[in-house]
Every structure is written in C-alpha cells, then in structure tokens.
A and B are shown apart, each in its own frame.
Chain A
C-alpha cells in the first residue's frame, strides 16, 4: 500500500534565542506536521527549558520539591542544576518574586537576581513576568534592557496588553511570546498586531495557552494542529514556533499534587509528549524526571543531525 503524502507549502519560521554563537538555540523551521518526516523535515529539534523561579518555590507540591532537592533552594544553584544535571540547553526564569501577592520585590531587585542567574549559566533565556499586569508593565521593560544583547524570549504579550512588551523587546533585540486563550482567531490577530508594530515574524513564538492532561489538553492540541495546517497552506500569520508550559499547568492539578512519587512526573510527561505531537517547539518543564524522559522522547523521534 502506498502511503498518502500531503504536500506542505512553506515552513515554520525559525526563532533564534541566545547570544549568537554555538550556544544559541534555534527552534522552528519545520516543513511537515509534527514528526511526519516522510513529508518534510524538522531541521531544529524541539527543546526543553527547565522552569526556574527567581525565589524559593515554597508553594510547589512536596513530591516536585523533593525531586528538585537542594538545587531549588536558590535560583542560581537551580539554574546550574538545570543546565549541568538535567542537560537543558536553555532555561525559563519566572519572575515570581515581583508579584504583589508574593514577595512584591521591586523590579530592580528582581532584575538583579535575573542577572546573577544569567551570568552563572550563560545559556539562552526565556523570561516570563510575575503574572501581575501592572507590575509586569514596569518589570518587563527593565528585564528587556538588562538582557540587551542576550536575544531572550520574553513573555507574554496578550491581545489586550501587548504594546509595552512588544516595543521593549523590539528595541532590545529580543523575541516575544504571543499568548492567546485557546483561540486560533485571537492567536492570528495577535501576530498581526505585533508584526504591525514592526516586530519581525521570526521573533515571535506562540503560546496558545497550555492545558494539562485531563484539564483541556485536547483543546490546546487542536488549536496547534489547526495552526500548523494553516501555516502549511501558506498562512504566514500562523507560521510561528510554539512554546508551551506543561510544568506549570500539570503541577497545578490535584492528580499531580496528591500522586505518588512518580505520579506527578508522569502527569507532566504525558502532557509534554502530547504537546510535542501537536507541534511544540519549546517546552517549559519543572520535574527533572519528566524533563529527562521528554528529552529521550525527542531524541528518539527526531533525526540525528
């Protein structure tokens, strides 16, 4: 039986993160649906970034904290653990300390910790805000300026709040995460709004909102699948790489929190693998075991370059 091969038009944009050089990370560039390598190519394998908080993760579940051990006691050792022990080529720093309901750290204090992390590991960075819009509108421009030259991936721009972060990322040479609420029409519109500001399309990564296993993962999956199918019929405004946060989403759910030692890890792993099948290019993950298994999966599924 002759397998039916679909013809894909064009390619997903390539986003480059990190200072130019051997340590820089490239994602995207696919010319086929995820892993359908008979129909095209995946020149850049998906990557895993460990999520680091810029403060102690005191509200994280016990089983996750014990998997991280002493490493998570401070951001710098945590970052070193991510790169040195877990083999992550990039890390994601969540600026949680600045959240008003958390430590309410000043933007300057938070940026100072970020700079220490960056200097300690010298890998490409994904940096996301505290989650408080008002604080982040002050914080993220300062992050952007502090990391000028690092070509970081900064998050996030949303449809009703994208101008400040886009302007600052554009000025300082960073890429931007465009976040939409599991809505392909808003995802496309946001990409147009951001590119209308002068941001090149190849400096945008899409976050269609991550939903974990059992809590709406299929919705995210189908948005990503539709986006990719549209991209491969020539829609440039949906042809950006995807960044997902399976770590944060999986460890919120009770099944992960109350699970046995490996139950939570498996919850995160299954979510991550499903996202890879949907086209994820960057996975921001928390559990070292889930990271290890996900990296193994990526290695098995993609061609050895």
Chain B
C-alpha cells in the first residue's frame, strides 16, 4: 500500500508559518516524522495563504529533499506551480492532480510526460463532483483514455473517486467504495487508485475523525485501493492499515505483526 503523508500542507497554520518564514527544519522534521511513521511518499502543498505559490513550491520541494528521499506528490490546482515543483523534484514525482476536463488533462499529462511523473486523476469535471458510481466511472474512463493517448502507463495513473464527507453526502460513501472496484476494470494492467482519506471525516466531531478514517480506509482496501493520502502520525490508522494488509494476505502473520511491518 502506497501511503502518501498529507501533513506538509500550507492549509495547516504551523506549516503556512514555516513556509512564510522559510523555516526548513520544521518542514524537514515533518517529512522525517511521516516517513518514520510509515509514509512511502509525501504530499506537498503550499496551501491557500501562499502569496508566491511558485516560489513556495520550489522551496518546499528543495527543503524536503535535503532530508528524505521519497516520491513527492505535488499538490496544486495550478499547472505552473506543479511545473515549478517538477523542475526540482527528481524522477519520481506524482502530480496531484488533474480532473477529467480535457484542457486540464492536456496540460497535466504533458507535464507528466515531460518529467516522467505519475499522475493523480480526479473523477470529477467542471460540472462538479459526481453523485453516483456510474458518473464516476465515466469520468475515470475519460482520464484513462487520455492517459493512454499520452503514453502514460496504467501503473503511473492514480484514479481518485472523490471522497465526500460522511456528514455531507452519506450515501456517497458506498458509491466511492464501489467505484474503487470499478476503476480497476478500466484497463489491464489495472490503474492505481487513491483517495484523500481525511475528507471522509471532514467536519465531523473531532473525537470521531480517527475511527471514521480508519474504518473507511480498511473498507476501501478491501475494495482494492492501492494508495491513500492520509495522516501517518495517526497510529490507530496505521495499525488498521497494517492489519487490513494482513487480512488481504499481503504480509505473513506473526504475533508481533504490527512491529514486524514497521521493521520492513
């Protein structure tokens, strides 16, 4: 399971402050902490308060890469900001993300091809977030077709069925789970899937967020989810992920299986 740590995001006040003040040690510490907790990649976002998103993205990527060596998921709505990050990100970057809109896909897939980056494709378009699995599948198929046109391999594509908070559109949770299964049938080999896990509990009571997140994650893994953007510092979440992998026969059981996973 590819775990993309979500914590280096300028929407968090402490991260925004560190970006603003160019405090690289704070960013590097966050990066190392997430990797130590089990993240295999890191999401990087300058956040909504950034006045110079291009400069901030460049600085973030450079700071992180001084401390750790994992793929970075460059998270921005702007292709030029992503481009700035890709210039310095090395060969294993992930572009987060494109929608199913043709113009957006054209610019993002061109970047992916240029920099040999992987791409997260969101199953949504200008008309908004789909309200059922049928529409999600349609949009995902559009993304897959365009990716094939650009010569991007299925294993370099991560399809995101768009998670809606459970207290906003509760029936959507099941649709998302079924979409994960459906997306895997779009091509052979199957494309990867991903999701922004924390979205499922966005706005829910603070004490409920962790259990909602980890329950949804294990259910999504049972449907074939191959990666997730989440908070790796939530130990209960990571324990649930490790246990789900065990149940899915991904690792050999032993009594200390939680410890064993962390010793991999």
Write the residues of chain A forming the contact surface with B, with a CB cutoff of 8 angstroms.
Answer: 184-186, 188-189, 192-193, 195, 226-227, 230, 234-238
A185 and B255 CA atoms in complex are apart in Å by 8
Write the residues of chain B forming the contact surface with A, with a CB cutoff of 8 angstroms.
Answer: 251-256, 259-260, 263-264
A152 CB to closest chain B CB (Å) equals 26
Binding site secondary structure of chain A: helix
The 10 closest A-B pairs by CB, nearest first: A188-B254, A189-B254, A192-B256, A230-B252, A189-B255, A185-B253, A237-B260, A185-B254, A188-B252, A192-B260
CB-CB under 8 A from B263, the residues of chain A are: 192, 195, 236-237
A233 and B131 CA atoms in complex are apart in Å by 38
CB-CB under 8 A from B256, the residues of chain A are: 189, 192-193
Binding site secondary structure of chain B: loop
CB-CB under 8 A from B252, the residues of chain A are: 184-185, 188, 226-227, 230, 235, 238
A186 and B256 CA atoms in complex are apart in Å by 10
A238 and B254 CA atoms in complex are apart in Å by 11
A185 and B257 CA atoms in complex are apart in Å by 9
Closest residue of B by beta carbon distance from A183 = B254
A192 and B255 CA atoms in complex are apart in Å by 10
CB-CB under 8 A from A235, the residues of chain B are: 251-252, 260, 264
Q: Is the CB of B264 within 8 A of A186?
A: no
**Best-surrounded residue of A189, A230, A234, A236 (most CB of chain B within 10 A):** A189
A64 and B206 CA atoms in complex are apart in Å by 73
A229 CB to closest chain B CB (Å) equals 9
A193 and B259 CA atoms in complex are apart in Å by 10
Q: Is the CB of A188 within 8 A of B264?
A: no
A234 and B1 CA atoms in complex are apart in Å by 12
Closest residue of B by beta carbon distance from A238 = B252
A193 and B254 CA atoms in complex are apart in Å by 11
A185 and B254 CA atoms in complex are apart in Å by 5
A222 and B263 CA atoms in complex are apart in Å by 24
CB-CB under 8 A from B253, the residues of chain A are: 185, 188
26 A-B residue contacts at CB 8 Å?
A185-B252, A185-B253, A185-B254, A185-B255, A186-B254, A188-B252, A188-B253, A188-B260, A189-B254, A189-B256, A192-B256, A192-B260, A192-B263, A195-B263, A227-B252, A230-B251, A230-B252, A234-B264, A235-B252, A235-B260, A235-B264, A236-B264, A237-B254, A237-B260, A237-B263, A238-B252
Q: Which of A192, A195, A234, A236 contacts B254 (CB 8 A)?
A: A192
